[in-house]
Amino acid sequence: MKYDFDQVCDRQNTNCAKWDSVPFIFAPHDVIPMWVADMDFPVAQPIVDALIKRAEHPYYGYTQPGPGLNEAIIDRLERKYNWKIKPEWIVFTPGVVPALNIAIRSLTHPGDEVIIQEPVYYPFFPAVTSSGCQIVNNGLTRIGDGYAMDFEDLERIFQPKMGMVPTPRRIKTLVLCNPHNPVGRLWTREELTHLGEIALRHGIPVISDEIHCEILFKGYRHTPFASISEEFEQNCIVCMAPSKTFNLAGLEASSIIIPNKKLRQAFASARTGILPGPNLFGYTAMEAAYRHGEEWLEQVLDYLQGNLDYLLETFARKIPRVKVIPPQGSYLVWLDFSALGLDDLVLRRFMREKARVGLDDGFLFGKGGSGFQRMNIACPRYILTEALDRIEKAVNEL
């Protein structure tokens, strides 16, 4: 089946967080929303069919995942990454963000420290602080139009804090983002190996958020952190979901892979009575997506590549003062507006009031985000074209 991703996107008045929040968070009200990470594309037909079929069976009681779903996840991970997992390693949650919160709670006590790599997806901050822990930033380094991890800094972080009396660190985990939101990096096997060895040496498990792992641009491959070695596999919690890949965020269903029994038990006890599993439609959609969504996914990835090529060409040719960090994965593009010399709140107003586009402000992503904006390009080309025209006009009039 051929999908038409150019079709007019009409999500208004559907309680859609991206479009129907415009009057509340953006002014003026004709801002084009390109912030929250979902796609302005209808989902794969087999997912719609599966949901309708399930809805027609009018019993919506407590639900558990069926063996078919486990099988679909196991097959997929083996087929895509040659990563062989066991069914009991799979833990279902209604979203990755709740899972990150529970994972951090399961590994820490209040007062402990958690490493993150800023600029990074902003819900990582409250996931650490609401657990009573402190954020330790192992900031990413900008190199040309890309980013790298700073391993020397990471090693330094584990040294005792110097003072009258050196204080040992209380670092208990590191939250990795791969592909990295917002900088769009897919970490290589070498980089992940380096990071994983440091984590092992210092005895901390890695929480690896891999939610964007199936949105890949041409020439890039994803490496699940856990697939690198058995030692890594036993030292991590991997968060995956069909929500970004198949545009199912509203159905809130994620699979968290925890190979290590002790870590799995700690996660289970931290969630008890707090975090239920996904709802029955989430399970249904997840299985349909993993079993029958591939044709749609291939086409959507082609379309996103076209959007990215168009955006790169437009910024280079018409808006060269704004530098694009070309993403390797995810449909989120990290844009460097710092050459305009606007401070963050002025840049925010400029984007909303002059350009009339609603992107995510870079400073929300923490250190290293100042002067940036994050743009979601998972939309029909006519929307992207209009947004880029607006940005071009506003920047060139500045």
Ligand X SMILES: Cc1ncc(COP(=O)(O)O)c(C=O)c1O
User: Residue numbers of the site for ligand X (CB under 6 A)?
Assistant: 37, 95-97, 121, 177, 181, 209, 211, 241, 243, 249, 254
- DSSP, res 355: I
Q: What is the rounded radius of gyration, in angstroms, for the C-alpha atoms of the chain?
A: 21
Task: For residue 203, give the 3-state DSSP assignment.
Answer: coil
Q: What is the secondary structure of 235-269 as a DSSP string?
A: TEEEEE-STTTTT-GGG--EEEE--SHHHHHHHHH
- Nearest distance from C-beta of residue 10 to ligand X, angstroms: 23
- Nearest distance from C-beta of residue 157 to ligand X, angstroms: 22
Q: How, if at all, do strands 372-376 and 332-336 pair?
A: antiparallel
Residue 92 is which amino acid? F
Give 128 or 394: the residue with its C-beta nearer to ligand X: 128
- 45-55 and 280-292 are packed helices; what angle lies between their axes, rounded to 10 degrees? 150
Measured distance CA(121)–CA(96) in Å, rounded: 12
- Nearest distance from C-beta of residue 317 to ligand X, angstroms: 29
- Nearest distance from C-beta of residue 23 to ligand X, angstroms: 22
Give 108 or 243: the residue with its C-beta nearer to ligand X: 243
- Nearest distance from C-beta of residue 103 to ligand X, angstroms: 12
- Positive or negative, the CA dihedral 298, 299, 300, 306 is positive
**Distance between first and last Cα of the chain:** 46
Give 50 or 286: the residue with its C-beta nearer to ligand X: 286
In this structure, the dihedral spanned by the alpha carbons of residues 386, 387, 392 and 394, taken in order and rounded to 10 degrees, is 110
- Secondary structure (H, E, C), 326-352: CCCECCEEEEECHHHCCCHHHHHHHHH
- Nearest distance from C-beta of residue 119 to ligand X, angstroms: 12
Residue nearest to ligand X (CB): 95
- Nearest distance from C-beta of residue 309 to ligand X, angstroms: 23
CB atoms within 10 A of CB 59: 7
Measured distance CA(20)–CA(10) in Å, rounded: 11
Give 96 or 133: the residue with its C-beta nearer to ligand X: 96
Give 286 or 319: the residue with its C-beta nearer to ligand X: 286
- Positive or negative, the CA dihedral 230, 242, 279, 285 is negative
Quick check: 324 and 333 in contact, CB under 8 A? yes
Quick check: 337 and 250 in contact, CB under 8 A? no
Measured distance CA(392)–CA(176) in Å, rounded: 34
Give 108 or 181: the residue with its C-beta nearer to ligand X: 181
Give 103 or 319: the residue with its C-beta nearer to ligand X: 103
- Nearest distance from C-beta of residue 177 to ligand X, angstroms: 5
- Nearest distance from C-beta of residue 241 to ligand X, angstroms: 5
Give 38 or 233: the residue with its C-beta nearer to ligand X: 38
Give 108 or 117: the residue with its C-beta nearer to ligand X: 117
The CA-atom distances, in angstroms, between 128 and each of 70, 102, 118, 258, 363 are 30, 10, 13, 20, 18
Give 102 or 288: the residue with its C-beta nearer to ligand X: 102
- Nearest distance from C-beta of residue 382 to ligand X, angstroms: 24
